[in-house]
Amino acid sequence: MAFNALHGHSALRRGRNSETSANYFLTVCTANQQTGLIGPEISKVIWSEITFLEIDQSWQMRCAVLMPDHLHVLIRLGERLSLGQTIQRLKAKTSSALRTASLNWERGFFDRKLRPDEPLLPVFLYVYLNPYRANLCKPSESWPEYRCGKDDWAWFCTQLTQNLPFPEWLA
């Protein structure tokens, strides 16, 4: 089959823009869907860089979940860097930790800009429930690789029972 420039990562970048203060749902995957991101050393480095991107006002992390082979993060983009630059920095600052486990980031990333009037709860639930749907933890357990911004947690935790998902969400 011949190469088609309308497909692949170039197609993902077409139409991508960086709008300051917009909410973006991002997914960053490992190459070949290799697992290992939730190892203690790797996850520590990833969470540190996510936090640093927030401290330097590149983005505001709304919620995020680290899975064995990918990261989901909902952010509000800051003014310092473009969307592509934030992901480029995240990958650059964490790549050496991944290499210690023979992992690499996939070349691109997936993003979806949320409309200003779009409700956030479905995205928060998708991120939060990801490890439960993947059977990585029991409904009675909390996933240790989930994070939520302080202000967002204040309203989102009211949607949960004892900080755990409702059983009907997991059906």
- Residue 51's CATH number: 3.30.70.1290
- On whether residue 56 sits in a domain, the answer given is yes
pLDDT, position 12: 45
Which two structure tokens, joined as six digits, stand for 11? 């197609």
| Mean pLDDT, 10 residues at a time, the chain of 171 residues | 50 64 97 95 97 96 98 97 96 97 95 94 93 91 95 90 62 53
- On whether residue 119 sits in a domain, the answer given is yes
pLDDT, position 3: 47
- On whether residue 48 sits in a domain, the answer given is yes
- On whether residue 94 sits in a domain, the answer given is yes
Residue 18: name the closest of 113, 118, 117 by CA: 113
pLDDT, position 139: 84
- Domain span at residue 123 reads 9-170
- On whether residue 1 sits in a domain, the answer given is no
- On whether residue 4 sits in a domain, the answer given is no
- On whether residue 3 sits in a domain, the answer given is no
CA distance linking residue 152 with residue 140, whole number of Å: 22
Number of domains in the chain: 1
Judging by beta carbons within 10 Å of its beta carbon (0-12, 13-18, 19+), is residue 131 exposed, middle or buried?
Answer: buried
**How many CB atoms neighbour CB 145 within 10 A?**
20
